Structure 1
Amino acid sequence: MPLRYSPRLRLRLATLLVAVSIGSGVPYPAAAGPGDANTDRLGRLQRQLDQLVATPGGPPGVVVLLQNGDRRHVLRAGVADLTTGRPIGPGDQTRIASTAKAFSGAVALHLVQRHALGLDDTIGKRLPQLPRAWSRVTLRQLLQHTSGLPDYSRDPRFQRLIAADPRRHFDSRRLLDFVRGVPLAFRPGTRYHYSNSDNIAVALMAEAVTGRPYEALLREIVHRPLGLRRTSLPQGYEMAEPFMHGYAMDPVEPPVDVSELIGASGVWASGGILSTPRDMNRFVRGYASGALTSRAVLREQRRWVEGASEPAGPGRNSAGLAIFRYDTRCGVVLGHTGNTPGYTQLMAATPDGRHSLTFSLTTQVNRTTTPDLLRKVRAVEESAVCTLLRQK
């Protein structure tokens, strides 16, 4: 069925594509009793979620999953589908956007732990088919966004193609061809610059040393060990029911459902994964704690440089290897964010993996298109972190 939208929203959707880059809290299991400090904190967070959904241009739905040890709470506001009014929940499939970069990091770091890859392995060594000018870039620099690799998603030809046909099928393993003739933006290791090209190269390195498709590596290294049952990396644009519908929002225009606006082949290892808040929570608990790798590799992963995820997460951001550190007023969590048309994500956990949260919105929020809304979202995310860390 063709998507229908006004000229104003048509322009807004074009901007989003080029950048590709009502409810109540429901405890799971039962919440603490009346008057308990935990209940008060959950109530305050719930009111903030309700206010976020009521904000002009805000998300039609938001679901937050908090887990301390074995105890979980789910808070939600709005709905998963504006047409049916179906409630939003942690089992709904969603586009996880750039949080998928942490999944490619998990694959690569596991291969480092197995000595199949080295953090100082270069593009020249593992991917000699790529431009010679990129040959000294290391896996470490790719994972930390200090590579200087030009961002294929900002290439004018790529942007024209995806704007003309958002569901266009790309050869995911040839995405870097769009910037093959572009020199490095800076000397590798000297600056931080977030680039979607980095994680495409990471996945290609993983394939090169194993001889196996990246999708198979994801299943073997990440999905099965962590029990991720509704997580996949498709090539097309379809989503599986039940899923949270994503919307393009405008303060003066009706919402437009963009859930299946774009295909995943054009973002692949950089942002194409479909998952659920429940699966994302399982993943980040294992990933942040180092369950998929070794203590030595974990130490390397946590060598921080100044740099923010996209969009920026709560508090002060710094970048490790395919993971970010969020220093909030209540403590530190490690994780990743992401945004894509219709969706914005945060997943984070304490360094030991015992305390975790996911924060999923059904509209795209970033510093370029919605800076004011992003400030509100980051404030609520920080409140969610505080609610998580202060629970007893």
Structure 2
Amino acid sequence: MTVTMTSTATTPDRRTARHRLARRAAVVALVGTGLLATLTPTASAAPPAGRERPATDPAALGQALRAVVEQGGSSAVLAEVRQDGRTAWRGTAGVADLTTGAPVPDGARFRIGSVTKTFAATVVLQLVGERRIGLDDPVERHLPGLVPNGAAITVRQLLNHTSGIHNFTDDPRFDTDGEEALQRWLTVGRWTTYRPLDVVRISTARPPYGSPGTGWWYSNTNYVLLGLIVERVTGRTWAEEIERRIIRPLGLRDTSMPGTSTVIPGPHAHGYVERPGGPADVTLQNPSAYGPAGAGISSTRDLTRFNAALLGGRLLRPAELDAMKQQVDTGQGFTYGLGLSRHPSACGEFWGLTGGIAGYGTLVTGSADGRRQVVVSINPYHLSEDTGRTYQALVDMATCGSPRAAAPSEG
């Protein structure tokens, strides 16, 4: 499984309205005022016939985890491996606070960014299984008059980012490219409350990227619209439905969908952005603009449990889980399904999603058989080529047992 940095939308006239914290081979890049370019594993060799799931080596994993911090690319890293329903290994490295030097607390929570999309997609697909939503329903049926050309855009296209709807984080008001724009976000933008209709109007005021179903264009607006559809169908907010359908049944005590709250409840490591004068602490931020597209908070413990339950068939019926895994080619070296992405590796097929928000990046992935799950949270800071290399080694070790195991064999 090879982790690469990819952009999240491509159009000829796309603005460069983003403050990139990553260097050219970095793992993480900030998009808009928060969402992260995906840490997207690309295809590698198929697993050898009869290969057993790799054993977990705590010492080697600990060393790989520390290397990410020691290379200077992250202030903190948290990771967990779950095997056959039990925590096989959990580790932390770095500091929770650059000022005090306090260590990262065990069980720390963090902002999960676009991994929130998998939670939201799961709720939508549960409603599909209940025949309350159809994947081929037009958006116009559920949100009449809200989206231009809504009669031609389907729920499925919102889920897999083929709707063509403009990404609201490309709007100039979310621009953090350059010191002046970043300062504006730090002092004003990150405290601003946005309602779902606010960001939809920001998006629909701009022309679409293309006709529905003719290409792949990552747009956080798609999932904001899905949240509104869930509310229209159930009479409850998307966050209430995630709480009712996923968080409570699975006992995810560290997971929350914070709305307008600026804090991370419970133990956590601070997140930072790099500036010429030193780090700016962005732990406190209002994620309301992102909603079901990226506002969530969780922990490695909860995310491995969620991934195991999802891939193990506890949250969706086989038909809906199969639909979730139906991938489209993004044209960027990876595929994307209905809030779930395929991560081929040398030790088997893995499924999950990646994402982030200012100061935090997350990878969630699990084996197709539901037996092994891996979660990595990184607090990116001063990223470099070495960051990408050490991060890749950690992911390979966690998924396949060694840094070399995930690479295709020569010959």
Structure 1 residues 336 and 371: alpha-carbon distance in aligned structure 2, compared to 1, 3 A threshold: farther
Higher helix proportion (structure 1 or 2): 1
C-alpha contact 1:146 1:192 (8 A) present in aligned 2: yes
Deviation at 1:138, TM superposition (A): 0.7
The residue aligned with 2:201 is 177
| Structure 1 residue 221 corresponds to structure 2 residue 245 | yes
C-alpha contact 2:196 2:228 (8 A) present in aligned 1: no
Letter in 2 for 1:233: M
Spell out, residue by residue over 1:148-202, the C-alpha distance to the aligned partner (whole angstroms, 9 max, x if none). 1110111113447856431111113431110222232112122122111111111
Structure 1 residues 249 and 162: alpha-carbon distance in aligned structure 2, compared to 1, 3 A threshold: closer
Alpha-carbon distance in 1 for matches of 2:337, 2:292: 18
1:331 to 342, 345, 348: 348
Identity of aligned residues (%): 32
Structure 1 residues 364 and 225: alpha-carbon distance in aligned structure 2, compared to 1, 3 A threshold: farther
Structure 1 residues 71 and 215: alpha-carbon distance in aligned structure 2, compared to 1, 3 A threshold: closer
Spell out, residue by residue over 1:271-327, the C-alpha distance to the aligned partner (whole angstroms, 9 max, x if none). 11111111111111112333211111112111122238xxx9xxx632111101101
Letter in 2 for 1:62: V
Letter in 1 for 2:395: E
Alpha-carbon distance in 2 for matches of 1:136, 1:370: 43
**Could you say what secondary structure the match of 1:132 adopts?**
coil
2:263 to 234, 238, 241: 238
Spell out, residue by residue over 1:63-97, the C-alpha distance to the aligned partner (whole angstroms, 9 max, x if none). 11101113321122212233444432552111011
| Structure 1 residue 248 corresponds to structure 2 residue 273 | yes
Deviation at 1:337, TM superposition (A): 0.5
| Structure 1 residue 382 corresponds to structure 2 residue 396 | yes
| Structure 1 residue 292 corresponds to structure 2 residue 306 | no
Mapping of 1:2-151 within 5 angstroms?
Answer: 16=30, 18-21=32-35, 38=55, 41-56=57-72, 58-72=73-87, 73-89=89-105, 91-151=107-167
Give the TM-score of the pair, scaled to structure 2. Answer: 0.78
The residue aligned with 1:303 is 326
Aligned residues between the structures? 351
C-alpha contact 2:129 2:320 (8 A) present in aligned 1: yes
Alpha-carbon distance in 2 for matches of 1:385, 1:182: 41
The residue aligned with 1:321 is 338
Alpha-carbon distance in 2 for matches of 1:100, 1:156: 24
C-alpha contact 2:76 2:92 (8 A) present in aligned 1: yes
Alpha-carbon distance in 2 for matches of 1:350, 1:318: 16
Structure 1 residues 253 and 66: alpha-carbon distance in aligned structure 2, compared to 1, 3 A threshold: farther
C-alpha contact 1:105 1:321 (8 A) present in aligned 2: yes
**Could you say what secondary structure the match of 2:344 adopts?**
strand
Spell out, residue by residue over 1:254-279, the C-alpha distance to the aligned partner (whole angstroms, 9 max, x if none). 4432211x211111111111111111
Letter in 1 for 2:219: S
Listed as ranges, the gaps of 5+ residues in structure 2 are: 1-18, 22-28, 36-53, 176-180, 406-411
C-alpha contact 1:231 1:279 (8 A) present in aligned 2: yes
C-alpha contact 2:165 2:204 (8 A) present in aligned 1: no
Which structure ranks higher in relative contact order (CA pairs < 8 Å, sequence separation ≥ 6)? 2
RMSD, aligned CA: 2.8
Alpha-carbon distance in 2 for matches of 1:12, 1:307: 21
Alpha-carbon distance in 2 for matches of 1:184, 1:97: 24
